Amino acid sequence: MTARSALTAASAFAIVPLAYAAQRCVEVGLGGELDPALVPPSPRIALFWRVGVSLVLAAGSTGPFYRLAERSPALALRVAEALAALAFGLLVAQAVFAP
């Protein structure tokens, strides 16, 4: 594995928790899940749906990240750092503030 492809994969992996947490924030903003104590468990499995969407977004971002890592590794590294920091912040924020 080259440094470029590893950096690309690291950036793409940072998209997964970022997209996941962003979906949670949107869900909470829209009113969240129906009361789980009152309704029977939904056949739609929200966890897998969110993970699936996050993985698709991460896979779609690998091309641009690879080109960025090819053109400017320093900038690509900065982007990976920023994405990871944002993903961590958003994950913790949704855990603290969302139900």
Partner 1 sequence: MTDELVLRLLARLHGHAGWLAVAALLHPVIVLRSPMRRARGAAWASTLLVSAVAGLGAGLYPSYRALLKQAIFQQNPTVGWWFERKEHLAVGAVTFAWIGLLCHLAAARADSTSQKRLAALAHRAYAAAFFLALSVATIGTIAAANRSF
Near partner 1 by CB under 8 A: residue from 13, 53, 62, 86: 13
Please report whether residue 61 would count as binding partner 1 according to CB under 8 A: no
In DSSP notation, 40-87 reads PPPSS-HHHHHHHHHHHHHHHHHHHHHHHHHH-HHHHHHHHHHHHHHH
Please report whether residue 28 would count as binding partner 1 according to CB under 8 A: no
> What does the alpha-carbon distance between residue 57 and residue 10 come to, in Å, rounded to a whole number?
14
Residue closer to partner 1 (CB basis): 61 or 94: 94
Count the neighbouring beta carbons within 10 Å of the beta carbon of residue 69. 25
Binding site for partner 1 (CB under 8 A): 1-3, 6-7, 9-10, 13-14, 16-17, 20-21, 24, 33, 35-37, 40-41, 45, 47-48, 50-51, 54, 73-74, 77, 80-81, 84, 87-88, 91, 94-95, 99
